[in-house]
Amino acid sequence: MEKVKVRNLHKYFEKLEVLRGIDLDVAEGEVVCLIGPSGSGKSTFLRCINQLEEITDGEIVVDGASITDKKANINKLRENIGMVFQQFNLFPHLTVAQNIMMAPVQLKKMTKDEAAVRAKELLEMVDLGEKYDEYPANLSGGQQQRVAIARALAMNPDIMLFDEPTSALDPEMVGEVLNVIKKLAKDGMTMVIVTHEMGFAREVADRVIFMDEGVIVEQGNPMDVFGDPQNERTKNFLNMVL
Amino acid sequence: MDFFELFMQSLPRFADGMRTTLFLTVAALFFGIILGMIACFFKISKLKVLRAIATIYVDIIRGTPLLVQAYFLYFGISQGIGITMTNTTAGIIVLSLNAGAYLSEIFRSGINAVNKGQMEAARSLGLSYSKAMIKVVLPQAVRIVIPSVVNQFIITLKDTTIISVIGAPELMKTANIIVARNFRGFEIYGMVAILYFIVIFILTKISQVIERRLSNGKSKSSQSA
């Protein structure tokens, strides 16, 4: 069954149409990388999937439930969709552990004690067990982003969305974040990743999608898209970035 | 009568006046903070009506002098529609309305100053708007606005002097009464100025301590966005 099903998605900002009819199915356990020039709508598309952006037209179904339905319980559906942002967006007034425990405790999914145990586990998983009581400001960018991933995993989501997770990082920290994402891919997490890291996309993606000017221009497995792009725009883009 | 004698003689009345001044200030800030919070949430609400109400309130208060508001409320309203109130009540109402209007703008700027990625991150975890506001945005906004809020406290304290015109027996009114009797304006107004200065100085020092406390927490916790 598809984890994410997008049909005829349109999105306007005022009069500007940034997404012009997108269809996409993401299978369970599939890792999809969205690539494309800036302004192509890939981040907007990703943010539509958990309704951080309201869509103008079309439908998005996540795990069998329409998230774009006016009557949908959006908060409930979002619990199942983790998101990681370019700017980390950790809560600066809370410790690393409190950041991770926030959602499970506030949404009454776990008691404080259970959440604390879970936070410890998740931090071990991203290799930051010793940062449990630190504040985000005392962490490097790469460490902050790994905490952000742990936080997004705290609700045990089925789907993870990554919005340019390494774009705000110093080059030497990109690897540690990508390694965590690779680990998740290996464990079978369904993921949609907007990225500029072509090498990473080639390695981790089951499918690469090239977007430009609000539409999906070309998609396929990474070997085909990177090795033998069919569309002129894809070729131009790949020539510029590779 | 020498200066010291004059001072000792006036002191009990100064103390009464200062008590009223502080009472007016504290009452006005109490209601002002409540009004300010309500107006702030009206202003950031999705509902146009609520936003309009808050805007009209803030614009009227900001666009008219406090002195005129005090006269209008105390003399104007009683003459016009026959509702009478004590001068202290009128004073508290005027000062609260003023503090509330300015505080609502301060609160709003504080909320706006919190990076909008914070709200998005909280919402993406499944938190409702109000939970995200209470648990994530407001704690950060409070730290940002504390210096401005303390500043507003000081302004409200100074504004109480204007309430003397409608006869509330606060420190300034007390000074006027004493001077009317003994014509020692130089000494009496000088003493009153010093008394205001001391109270505000103490308030400023306390706020600096609070700010330092919070910014300690901040250096540990919030340079990142």
CB contact under 8 A, B117 and A85: yes
Residue type for position B205: K
Is pLDDT of B9 > 60?
A: yes
Q: Which residue of A has its CA nearest to B120?
A: A52
**Domain for residue B104, yes or no?**
yes
Nearest residue, CB atoms, A155 vs list B126, B221, B222: B126
**Residue B222: inside a domain, yes or no?**
no
The CATH number linked to B60 is 1.10.3720.10
- CA triple B97-B30-B167, angle to 5 deg: 60
Residue B223 covered by a domain: no
Mean confidence (pLDDT) of chain B: 91
Q: Is the pLDDT of residue B128 over 70?
A: yes
Residues with Cβ within 8 Å of A115's Cβ and at least 6 positions away in sequence, in order, are: A100, A101, A104, A105, A109, A154
User: What is the per-residue pLDDT across A25-79, written as a single tens digit (0 to 9) for each?
Assistant: 999 999 999 999 999 999 999 999 999 999 999 999 999 999 999 899 999 999 9
Contact (CB<8Å) B140/A92: yes
Q: Which residue of chain A is at minimal alpha-carbon distance from B123?
A: A75
Q: Looking up tokens 């006869």, which residue turns up?
A: B167
Of B126, B139, B143, the CB nearest to A75: B126
Contact B224 A102 (CB under 8 A): no
User: B220 or A191: which carries more pLDDT confidence?
Assistant: A191
CB contact under 8 A, B126 and A78: yes
Determine, yes or no, domain membership for B99. Answer: yes
Please report residues of A whose CB lies closer than 8 A to that of B143: 93
Q: Is the pLDDT at B222 greater than 70, yes or no?
A: no
Q: How far is Cα B7 from Cα A200, in angstroms, rounded to an integer? A: 81
Domain assignment present for residue B221? The answer is no
pLDDT recorded at residue B78: 87
Inform me whether the pLDDT recorded for B34 exceeds 80.
Answer: yes
Residue A162 near residue A82 (C-beta atoms within 8 A): no
Q: Does some domain include residue B20? A: yes
Count CB atoms within 10 A of the CB of residue B48.
Answer: 8
DSSP letters of chain A?
A: -EEEEEEEEEEEETTEEEEEEEEEEEETT-EEEEE--TTSSHHHHHHHHTTSS--SEEEEEETTEESSSTT--HHHHHTTEEEE-TT----TTS-HHHHHHHHHHHTTSS-HHHHHHHHHHHHHHTT-GGGTT--GGGS-HHHHHHHHHHHHHTT--SEEEEESTTTTS-HHHHHHHHHHHHHHHHTT-EEEEE-S-HHHHHHH-SEEEEEETTEEEEEE-HHHHHHS--SHHHHHHHHHH-
Angle (nearest 5°) at CA A83 between A180 and B111: 125
The number of distinct structural domains making up chain B is: 1
Residue A126: pLDDT band with limits 50, 70, 90: very high
Q: How confident is the model at residue B219 (pLDDT cuts 50, 70, 90)?
A: very low
Lowest mean pLDDT among A157-161, A177-181, B100-104, B144-148: B144-148
Residues of A in CB contact (< 8 Å) with B are 50, 52, 75-76, 78-79, 81-83, 85, 87-94, 102-103, 106-107, 135-138, 144, 148, 151-152, 154-155
- Domain boundaries, position B35: 9-216
Residue B1: inside a domain, yes or no? no
List alpha helices for chain B, DSSP H. Answer: 3-43, 48-63, 66-71, 77-81, 87-113, 116-124, 129-132, 138-159, 171-182, 185-221
What's the start-to-end Cα distance of chain A, in Å? 34
Sorting pLDDT into bands at 50, 70 and 90, what band is B221? very low
Closest by Cα among B163, B155, B142 to B21: B163
Report chain B's terminal Cα–Cα distance, integer Å.
Answer: 64
Residue B42 CA to residue B53 CA, distance in Å, equals 8
Phi/psi zone of residue A215: left (φ > 0), alpha (ψ -120 to 50 degrees), beta? beta
Per-residue buried b or exposed e for A197-226, using 16+ beta carbons within 10 Å of the residue's own CB: bbebbbebbebbbbbbebebbbbbebeebb
Average pLDDT over all residues of chain A = 96
Residue B211 pLDDT: 79
Fill in the amino acid letter for B183: F
Structure tokens at B7: 């001072």
- Order of strands across the sheet that contains A207-212: A81-84, A159-163, A190-194, A31-35, A207-212, A215-220
The C-alpha atoms of residue B24 and residue B168 are separated, in whole angstroms, by 9
Count chain A–chain B contacts defined by CB atoms under 8 A.
87
Residue of A nearest to B141 (CA): A93
A92/B219 CB distance under 8 A = no
Q: Which of B174, B206, B218 is closest to B17 using CA atoms? A: B174
Tens-digit pLDDT profile for residues A104-115: 999 999 999 999
